[in-house]
Amino acid sequence: MGNLVERVHAIVLSGGSAYGLDAASGVMKWLEERKIGFEVTGGVVPIVPAACIFDLGLGRGDVRPDAAAGYAACEAATTEPVTEGSVGAGAGATVGKALGLERAIKGGIGSAVEETNSGVRVAALVVVNCWGEVVDPETGRTVAGPRSETSGTFVSTLEALRERSPLSPFTGGNSTVAVVATDGVLSKEQTFRLAAIAQTGLARTIRPVHTPVDGDTVFALATGGNNAAADALQLGALGARALERAALRAVLNATSLAGVPSVSDWG
């Protein structure tokens, strides 16, 4: 905050660990061709923040998003509802890795939207690839976690942690990355606060969250297209709720891949 650039022009969420950052180059190329970006001498510089999940341990680690994939994503962009589950950045996502990748459950991508009484909306898009387990915050029930010996049941991550040596469970790759966006009018500082409040939705659905083996990231955007009354407190609280719901949808809509079962297949 306090720097010259006030707006971003796209956000990229991808798989492939740091290699997946290459997808942002394709997005920048697509935007530059349409002269969308921060105006500088000689042209524009598209501002495209990006975050990737670490998913190289599932399937082939040499198959990763590249600049062509980022460009293709722009070409395929639509206002239709986001496809959820084990697609796109969620293809290689897994959750519940306290007992290693061999006992994990499939993760994915999910979305949800909340709306104020005045009609201002705040939506969340999240790729759930966490080391911890995913719980339903309304019931406290574990939805996805380390698989036990009995089909449809899970081992307690907290109890598994009691028995393990510190930082021993760095397996399978982790990180949950998300975007929370509102059509309301917010300043740059208020948008930062929106991200800070909304990320608590992850804390209510992932146990534990923000661990040393996770690189959790939440971006926030305010398009300013809706002038109805709203503020960062209101939108942040609703954003947190949207992020909770999106995280649950990410795992509930996932499909089995590379020997890691989905919640629906495990149950």
pLDDT digits (tens, 9 = 90+) for 182-204: 999 999 999 999 999 999 999 99
Please provide the DSSP assignment of the chain as one string. --SS----S--EEESSGGGGGGHHHHHHHHHHHTT-SEEETTEEE----EEE---TTSS-TT----HHHHHHHHHT--SSPPP-BSSGGGTT-EE--TT-GGG-EE-EEEEEEEE-TTS-EEEEEEEE--SSEEE-TTT--EEE-SB-SSTT-B--HHHHHHHSPTTTT--S----EEEEEESS---HHHHHHHHHHHTHHHHHHEES-S-TT---EEEEEE-----SS--HHHHHHHHHHHHHHHHHHHHHT---BTTBPPHHHH-
Mean pLDDT of 209-236: 92
How much is the mean pLDDT over the chain? 93
- Between CA 141 and CA 123 the distance in angstroms is 24
pLDDT of residue 230: 85
The answer to whether the beta carbons of residues 27 and 73 sit under 8 Å apart is yes
The alpha carbon torsion through 76, 79, 85, 91 (nearest 10 deg) reads 20
Residues 213 and 219: beta-carbon distance below 8 Å = no
Q: What is the mean pLDDT of residues 32-54?
A: 96
Tell me the one-letter amino acid at 230: A
Quick one: residue 205, left, alpha or beta (phi over 0 = left, psi -120 to 50 = alpha)? alpha
In contact, 236 and 243? CB cutoff 8 Å: no
- Res 170 pLDDT > 80: no
Residue 267: predicted pLDDT: 74
Cα–Cα distance list, 156 to 26, 39, 61, 200, 248 (Å): 41, 52, 29, 22, 18
> Residue range 260-266: average pLDDT?
96
The tokens for 182 are 């509102």
| Site of tokens 């201002």 | 120
Q: In angstroms, how far is CA 27 from the centroid of its own chain? A: 18
Distances from the Cα of 119 to the Cα of 4, 116, 185, 227, angstroms? 31, 5, 12, 10
Residue 236 — very low, low, confident or very high, per pLDDT cuts 50/70/90?
very high
Q: How far apart are the first and last CA of the chain?
A: 46
Q: Residue 6 — pLDDT band, cuts 50, 70, 90?
A: confident
Task: Name the pTM for this structure.
Answer: 0.94
Q: Which amino acid is at 110?
A: G
